[in-house]
Amino acid sequence: MGKPAATDRLCLPSLSHSFTLDLVVVAPSREVLEQHVLPTLAAFLRGRGLQRSEAKTRMVQSTAGLNFVGCEIKRYKRALVTPPQKAQVYGHYRTMKTYLKQHKQSPAAQSIRGLNPHMRGWANYDRHGAAKRACRKMDHLVWHARWKWAKRRHPKKPAPGVHQRYFRTVGNRQGVFAAGKAQILWYQDTPMSRRPKVKGKASPMNPDRKTYWEQRGQWRLKTRTSAKQRKSRLQAQDCRWGLCTTLFYYGDPIDDHHSKPKQQGGEDRKENRMLGHQWCHHAHHQRHGYKAAGA
C-alpha cells in the first residue's frame, strides 16, 4: 500500500486484545436465567471469542442486593437504588486518614492540594448513583480527620484559636478547612447525575438504533466532563472532531488542537482551538511535519 495522501484523514483508535467484562443480568425468575438467559449469553460471548467465568457468576434476589463495581445494587418496593458500597466508602476514608498521618508536618495548603484530587475522583466516580447520603457522611468524617490533624499541631492552643487559624466561612458554609487560596473540597458540592433508562428494548448491537446510542454517548460525554472550557468546546463542535467529523465517545483520549500552530503565532483563544481524538491529532501533525505536543 502506498502512503496516504495529505488529504486522507484516518481516525482509528488502538485496540487491546485482552480484557474482562463485568455485567449484571436481570430476569423475572431463576428458571428464566438458567434455561434462557445463560445459554443465550454464552452463545453471544462464544461468537466473539469470550466466555463467562463460572467462578464469578452468582445468582441472587434483587431484594437481597449485590455489590458491583463499587456500588450496592438493591431493589426496594418502588425503586432500585445504587448507593456506594460501604466497604468502598470506608476504604476511601482510610486513604484520607493515611495521607494525613503521612503528612503531619506538611503545610496546610500542601495537604489540601494533596487531598483534593483524591476527593474529587471519588465523588466523580460515585455521582451517578444514589450517593448524596454517602457524600454527607464523607464530609463529616473528613472534617473530623482534619480537625484532629489541626489539633495535633497545636496541642496547647485553645480550640477556638485552632479553628480560627485553619477554618473559615465560605458562602453559607462554616468550618471550611482552608489556607491562603487553597481550600478543601466538599463532596456534597459534586452535582449528582443519574443515567437515563434505555428506551424499550434498544440494543447497542442493533444497527437500526445507531443514532439513539450515539445520542446517549454524547450525553454521557457532556455530563461527565467537568472542565467548563472543554464542555463548551464539545457543545460547539457537536461532540465531533473538526477534521474528520468522527464522534467522540466517553473514554476516548482527547487532545486540544490549535488550528494555527503556536510556533506560527497561534494563540490560546477559543477561536483557534478545537478538540480532537488523540490518535487522529497525532497523525495529523505527523503528516504536516511536526508532533502533536508542539501544537
Residues linked to residue 72 through DSSP beta bridges, in sequence order: 67
**Domain segments of the chain as ranges:** 30-81, 86-189, 207-294
Give me the mean pLDDT over the 35-56 stretch.
87
Q: For residue 290, what pLDDT is reported?
A: 58
Q: For residue 152, what pLDDT is reported?
A: 93
Which of the four pLDDT bands, split at 50, 70 and 90, describes residue 3?
very low
Q: For residue 213, what pLDDT is reported?
A: 85
Q: For residue 224, what pLDDT is reported?
A: 66
Tens-digit pLDDT profile for residues 76-121 = 887 888 899 999 999 999 999 999 999 999 999 999 999 999 999 9
At residue 226, does pLDDT exceed 70?
Answer: no
Q: For residue 294, what pLDDT is reported?
A: 40
Q: State the DSSP string of 139-161.
A: HHHHHHHHHHHHHHH-TTS-HHH
Give me the mean pLDDT over the 258-266 stretch.
74
At residue 216, does pLDDT exceed 60?
Answer: yes
Q: For residue 176, what pLDDT is reported?
A: 92
Show the CA angle centred on residue 276, arms to residues 4 and 218, nearest 5°. 120
Q: Which of the 8 DSSP states describes residue 33?
A: I
Give me the mean pLDDT over the 33-46 stretch.
90
Q: For residue 232, what pLDDT is reported?
A: 76
Q: For residue 289, what pLDDT is reported?
A: 62
Give me the mean pLDDT over the 5-34 stretch.
64
Query: What is the rounded average pLDDT for all residues in the chain?
Result: 82
Residues 6+ apart with CB under 8 A from 238: 218
Distance CA 17, CA 50 (A): 11
Q: Which residue has the higher pLDDT, 2 or 265?
A: 265
Pairing mode of beta strands 173-179, 167-170: antiparallel
209-243 CB burial, b ≥16 within 10 A, e <16: beebbeebbbebbebebeeeeeeebbeeeebbbeb
Lowest mean pLDDT among 23-27, 131-135, 139-143, 177-181: 23-27
CA distances from 117 to 50, 120, 244 (A): 36, 5, 34
Is the distance from CB of 241 to CB of 280 less than 8 angstroms? yes
Q: For residue 274, what pLDDT is reported?
A: 79
